[in-house]
Structure 1
């Protein structure tokens, strides 16, 4: 139980470190390439799915180091990430259709 709690705490600290403070209204925010952000997000989802598949395979082969809880948590993480990616894609496609249907 302590190992899981330590892993969760370290993951939360990593997320905290990635968060950026809000920029003041008068300062210019750094430009980020949308395609790079999208590529990174898709690669993260793909990595989660590959990790889940690896854990699932190890569990099915009888590896004692992998518990059913780890497999189920990894499966839920990858499922939620994939669903969020599909929703973002749908919103982008809807926005594109809306823009293309605007009269010029």
Structure 2
């Protein structure tokens, strides 16, 4: 296990995703919730987990086109899920890591 500790901004985005999911009862899967908990608690992530995060963001960037993306009063399920994985901060963080 390498030292892939999520920055505070990623932890904050994941926590926001968890809060929105509780409030609106939608968004994300059990895997996304587990990822959010790891990010929120700033647990060191394995290289494989970082690769899965990169893959998630690559697959789901199209979700940003959805209605209610970023709407705090009525967020789309995709927006909540994106936050569970660390949001834009998480995407930028994993994109900057050198993982083979």
- TM (norm. structure 2) is 0.35
Please say which structure displays the higher CA radius of gyration.
1
Q: Which has the higher helix share?
A: 1
- TM (norm. structure 1) is 0.34
